[in-house]
Structure 1
Amino acid sequence: MLTSLSIKNYALIDQLNVNFNDGFSIITGETGAGKSILLGGLSLILGKRADLSSLKDTSTKCVIEAVFNISNYNLKALFESEDFDYDEQTIIRREILPSGKSRAFVNDSPVNLSSLQLLGERLIDIHSQHQTMALTTDEFQFQVIDALANNEEILQQYTSELKVYKTLKKELKSLLEFQADAIKEHDYNSFLLNELVEANLIDGELEALEEEYESLNNVESIKDKLGEAYQLLTDEQIGAISTLTALKNTLQKLSSYASKYDDLFNRVNSSLIELDDVYREVDELQDSLEADPNRLEVVDAKLRLLHNLMQKHVVETVAELIEIKNQLEEKVSVTENLDETIQNKQKEIEEQAKTLNGIAKTIHDNRSKVIPELKAQLESILVGLGMPNAQFNIEVSLQKEYLANGKDNLSFLFSANKGGNYNELKKAASGGELSRIMLAIKSVLAKYIQLPTIMFDEIDTGVSGEISNKMGDIMLEMSKSMQVFAITHLPQVAAKGHSHFKVYKEDKDEVTHSNLVKLNHDERIVEIAQMLGGVEMSSSAIAHAKELLN
């Protein structure tokens, strides 16, 4: 509940500090006295956008602060989700700076307007002409029915399951789109893959083949060189082996004269042994070397294939070709297995649809059960509000489409006159009738859910004394379970309040100021008498005012 309100430098208000009680509070005042200013200030607390024109004195900031007792509002979860500091005595403050910038605070922690609006919706319900029109929307009508049906928990479950369903549908759509694109590329990818598979790619193969090709392609030249090397090694006159043998023999003779020649002998002897190995290897290479045109053709073909594939795929190594082959295998495999994946996804969607349909059916059944009760209560209340022939025709019917709050199509029709045709509320009810219907609905809702503080802004406009008396009784009854404010011009309603506040204007130093003051019992008598008979109060008006208050 709203326990106090402080307004500084806002519109026509210099400084206002007022405390409120629970129960039913009345706010009265002459037209233009500033009741709309009070509502404007409260709207800022609830997250409405502000501008510099709100400042009374543009050289200093405007500050609006409200204190709420939220101990019975079950708001801890909301405070946690929005990262607010929870306190049963929660303070909301709005500041409008001379620069035009606005700041908002919840328990002295800065918050953004969207979070403040979310909290504000749970604290005060300001009933205005705009909200009366909300009565004609499916969204509001469903909220009323679901409140009576106690559907809150199952609607949360439905919302959660609907989210899963939509995710699955989105995944299926992506799979189908991918499949459509993949089918277009599948044949080409398969062709490329077959080329690479048939190439029998081996990492490092290119270098080995290039070396073998050079050997096979130059076999005659290699033979000539090996023959020349053999001749240089074995020629009796100038051959390296003969010469080195002669050198060894000479050094062997020297080593017999002194040990210092042994090292030279041993080194030459080692060289001769190594040279002898070279000779044998050259001899073996000569014997094994043969022209092999068939093998040369095979190697040449494989090299051309590898080079063509590398050029085609714009790579430089066989290893890169192997990586491309692996990628193509994955693409082709995924494409070929997509049908099974899509079928599995469709089965998931079907199972999720069964779950959703079951929940939606429960929501529908709950709504259907309470509609007769809602219809009876509304019609009964409206009889007392001067609408004896008011009748509702409310039906919910299941449809195929999944909506945000179930699968129901809602028909909420109304007839104000006996024998009249049923029609949509916005077509069948006048503005005054809509206000009375909204009051009836709010009074019914108050029996089933914990409503926030509610402020009725002249909901009784245009109604007769007897009907206004009944409207006052309804608001008074609502105040037994919640805090109710009523801004009114009707004395019959004003007399019902537990507390009475008056908005008034006064001129000081040629400047107009608005203020709000709580009236005591005697002041209430005067205010109600003036509402009955004008400023020139008669004794009968005063007597009538006392009677109403009693």
Structure 2
Amino acid sequence: MLVELAVENLAVVERLRLRLHPGFNALTGETGSGKSLIVGALSLLFGGRASADMIRTGEERAFVSGIFEAPADARFRELLEQAGVAAEDGELLVEREITASGKSRAWAGSRPVTIAFLREIAPFLGDIHGQHDQQKLFSPEAQREMLDEATGARELTAALREAWRAWRAAQRELAELDRAEQERARLADLWSMQRNEIAAAALKPGEDAQLENERRVLRNVARLSESVASAYALLEESEESAASAVGQALKRLEEAARIDATLEPLVETLRPAQIAIQEASHELRHYLGRLEADPRRLEEVESRLALIERLKRKYGTTIEEILSFFEDVSSRLAALESAGERRVELERLIAEHEARYRELAGQLRETRLRAARRLGRKVQEELAGLAMPGAVFRIQVEPCEPGEEGMDAVQFLFSANAGEEPRPLDRVASGGELSRVALAIKTCMAPAEKGAARTLVFDEVDAGVGGAAGEMIGRRLRELARRHQVLCVTHLAQIAGFADHHYLVSKSEAGGRTAAGVELLGRKERIREIARMLSGQKLTPEALRHAEKLVEQFSAG
């Protein structure tokens, strides 16, 4: 239930604070007084579209806030928890701001939230029904949504959509496999050739660096032999070799260290040098023994390096990159080779998902057919109580092509007069009839709920109807208000007369600016307003007596 609505700088409303009550609340006023702005402000709190054009001329921002009794619904509480929003003392504060730049911000429980979040919680707080919503009655999609809401089969419809998406996804993947068949065959030949070429080379990481070093050695055997032999002679073979000199020096130092112990560290320093020279000489001698010219091996190395260079030009600048390309192309070939297996798997999945979808669609059709009979009967009964005793209302459910919402086409059929075959609603209903059909459906779709009552807003539900039908609409709204809070914008005294609380919306001018205001009417003021609605601006004693009688009559019955 909406407890309080505050509006600031919205169109002609400069500042307004409206305290609402349980039951039937009527909003009346002269044409253009701003009655629908109250509904527009509430629409913003429910996540409706906002624009800078809504801001009062000369102002930088518009602001709307509403205090609602928080419903006890478990899903509603779950949504609040997910958004980190808390309802204080059983009430939820919802706020919306529009800036001159057209940007919009929202808060719930004084915490910033998205506009999408407002739309998500709106159905738990209330519902707005205006002339635009009446036109939605002509939409097959809207009619199906209303019927589905009446079924209460949310889990079934969610499972159906999931099965449909899985079925369609498998179909799309299979179609993609079919479209790429020729391209896959061409790529398979190319990738197979590339993989075989690299595999035949049997490359090893770092192989090219080793081969380049071996090629330098084989090209320079004579030069290497001369240099290494010279080094070996200097270390070991000559009388003044490094090995001889270090050996003599070490011998003399050992003799001296036996006399002066402080020389012992020098002996220990020099001894590793002698060992290193001996090891180096040994390695050089073996190197010279292995070193020999080998033209045949040089040719093999040159050929191998040439092969590696060709592969580098094709597949990568290093052997590591070539091997990475090999792994990649091998994976792609494996994927192509398994395409046949994937096709079999997809065909199995398509059959499985289709069977699941059709099973759920069949269950949903039975649920819809039962709901269609039940809702159609209830709406027809409501129409009889809205001065349409001969009206016929049926909900037709017929098979159609599979889709995300099932395999049913839903259509509302209507006949205003007994004996006439019911036809699609958009072809036969007049404006007044459509208003009553919409109210009848809304009444049947709003059962009593646990916890706080929702706020049901009706904007010009009296469009196209006269006094007698208006009286019947007023009675239905009062009955609906026993289960929910009803807020109705009306031009008919016959509807306003049934209200528990009557608000007057009016405009005033000051300093060249127009501003709208709203006030809760007492009994005397209410009778004057209903008299104005009955007879116009001239309030005659007769009109006032008629208005008083109407209020007393409607209040009593």
Q: How does 1:40-59 map to 2 (within 5 A)?
A: 40-47=40-47, 48-51=49-52, 54-55=55-56, 58=58
> Which residue among 531, 536, 539 is the counterpart of 2:540?
536
**Distance (Å, rounded) in 2 between the aligned partners of 1:106 and 1:241:** 97
Query: Distance between the aligned counterparts of 1:515 and 1:209, measured in 2?
Result: 94
| Letter of the structure 2 residue corresponding to residue 364 of structure 1 | R
Match of 2:459 in 1: 457
More moved, 452-461 vs 45-54: 45-54
Please give the alpha-carbon distance, in whole angstroms, between the structure 1 residues aligned to 2:62 and 2:191: 70
Q: Determine helix, strand or coil for the equivalent of 1:344.
A: helix
Q: How big is the shift at 1:282?
A: 9.9
Amino acid at match of 1:106: A
Contact 2:64 2:96 in 1 (8 A): yes
Distance 1:299 1:22, change over 3 A: same
Residues of 2 paired with 1:94 and 1:31: CA distance?
A: 27
**Matched residues in 2 for 1:449 and 1:179: separation?**
58
Would the aligned equivalents of 1:505 and 1:515 in 2 still touch at CA under 8 Å? yes
Shift of 1:20: 1.4
CA shift, 1:473, in A, is 1.8
Whether contact under 8 Å (1:394, 1:412) holds in the other structure is yes
2:444 is aligned with 1:439: no
Q: Give the superposition deviation at 1:533.
A: 4.0
Report the Cα distance in structure 1 between the residues aligned to 2:99 and 2:285, rounded to whole angstroms: 103
Query: What does 1:142-541 align with in structure 2 at a 5 Å threshold?
Result: 142-165=144-167, 167-168=169-170, 181-206=183-208, 301-316=303-318, 318-403=319-404, 405-418=405-418, 420=420, 422-447=422-447, 452-506=454-508, 512-534=514-536, 535-538=539-542, 540-541=545-546
Distance of 1:161 and 1:305 partners within structure 2: 55
Counterpart for residue 35 of structure 1? 35
* Structure 1 unaligned spans of 5+: 234-239, 261-269
Moved more, 96-105 or 326-335: 96-105
Q: Is the Cα contact below 8 Å between 1:79 and 1:85 reproduced in 2? A: yes
- Report Cα offsets for 1:362-382 as digits up to 9, x if no partner: 211100112122222222222
Give the whole-Å Cα distance in 2 for the aligned partners of 1:49 and 1:90. 21
**Identity level (%):** 29
Distance 1:175 1:113 in 2: 41
Q: How much is the aligned-residue C-alpha RMSD, in angstroms?
A: 4.4
CA distance in 2, matches of 1:278, 1:474: 111
Alpha carbons of structure 1 residues 68 and 201: separation in structure 2 relative to 1, 3 Å? same
TM-score under structure 2 normalisation?
Answer: 0.78
Match of 1:547 among 525, 542, 553: 553
CA gap 1:325/1:73 in 2 versus in 1, 3 angstroms? closer
CA distance in 1, matches of 2:84, 2:172: 32
Change in CA separation of 1:46 and 1:277 when aligned onto 2, cut-off 3 Å? closer
**1:71 counterpart residue number:** 71
List alignment gaps of at least 5 residues for structure 2.
257-274
SS of the equivalent of 2:541 reads: coil
Q: Secondary structure in 2 aligned to 1:396?
A: strand
Specify the SS of the correspondent of 1:363: helix
Normalising by structure 1, we get a TM-score of 0.78
Q: Quick one: structure 1 residues 436 and 200, their matched pair in 2 at CA, closer, same or farther if it must change by over 3 Å?
A: same
Structure 1 residues 119-168: Cα deviation after superposition (integer angstroms, max 9, x where no partner): 44543322211110011112321222123222123223334444544555
SS where residue 104 of structure 1 aligns?
strand
Residue 91 of structure 1 aligns with which residue? 93
1: CA distance, partners of 2:98 / 2:321? 65
Distance 1:212 1:452 in 2: 89
CA distance in 2, matches of 1:108, 1:334: 54
Q: 2:85 is paired with a residue of what secondary structure?
A: coil
Check conservation: 2:143, 2:411, Cα contact below 8 A. no
Amino acid at match of 2:466: S
SS of residue in 1 equivalent to 2:383: helix
Task: Give the superposition deviation at 1:445.
Answer: 0.6
Query: Bigger CA drift: 138-147 or 508-517?
Result: 508-517
Aligned partners of 2:308, 2:115: CA distance in 1, in Å?
Answer: 66
Q: CA deviation at 1:49?
A: 1.0
